[in-house]
Amino acid sequence: MTGAARLDPSVAGGEGARSLTAGDVARLVGGTLAGDGAVTVTGVAPLDRAGESDVSFLAAARYAPLLERSRAAVVLVSPDLADAAAAAAVRARVVVDRPHEALLAVLPALYAPPPRTPGVHHTAVIGTGARLGSDVTVGPYAVIGDGASLGDRAWVDAHCVVGAGVSVGEDARLYPGVTLYAGAVVGRRVILHSGVRVASDGFGYVYRDGAHQKLPHVGRCVVEDDVEVGANTTLDRGSIDDTVIGAGTKIDNLVHVAHNVRVGRLCLIMAQVGIAGSVRVEDGCVLAGQVGIAGHHTIGKGARLAAQAGVFGDIPPGETWSGYPARPHRVALRAQAALFKLPSLIRGIERLLGERGA
């Protein structure tokens, strides 16, 4: 790789950028190079903002007009759009089946990850009986509670709190300001972004003697291997059962998962989703932004909920539902179309009534 040693520490975000030639890019993604293989790139940007040292990509025909005005040095392009790229003033293009997916190889080669120095910062607080694996990193003012354990190479950043008895798996990454209450179990290679709260009490009360009496929460919150959770998301512990986030699931920012919820493997949960207590989300589901799910329902395996869907019943496996209340997507679209027709229908009825009155 031509530019692997050339780092620019001034790059925004502090990661540092490397340089690659167009030929390097083609080899990384297994694509076909056309144009100047020696042109050098140091970053990645969308077509409309790319500069003369950036890689960009074109994967959908609706973005082809942006390519005509783009200043990108190298463009990753799908085979069906290769002719459009050839007509543009791009110095080099790389034809590859899935340009967006190809960025998985390009981005790590161009952007160095932030450095990690194993060790425990002198301001960190380590509780009695805590167990730290090899090569762990514990940042400034982090707190590791009594009896907690960190797996090998775990990274607990500044101002994190790992509660008493909490287990954090190997290669897990806790960004600054994460709080793991007692009762949290975090698996291997889990990524928790800033502000994540795991195993906080759920919203459980019983009205008695003129007051809302709090139900003690004694279940755990288990985050399985390879889960990533976005900033300021809250995962409640179970009341008398466990809350579980299945392996490989990815959760966006500002999501709330209530007590006793079970989320399956490889799910995608987007921003501002709210999942009420005791919901079951089976493997491979997709919950788009601002979906709300009422308690005690089941979202079947592989189901998809469109943005802002309001769910008040079970969703069959493999189906796409949308709307409020949620219904099969085609039904929701027909209902919405009918709703938009109402004003003109009402005006027609009013005219008929007016003519009869006259």
Q: Is 159 a catalytic residue?
A: no
Given 217, 259, 296, 329, which residue is catalytic?
259
Residue 245, strand partner residues: 223, 263
Residues with a known catalytic role: 259
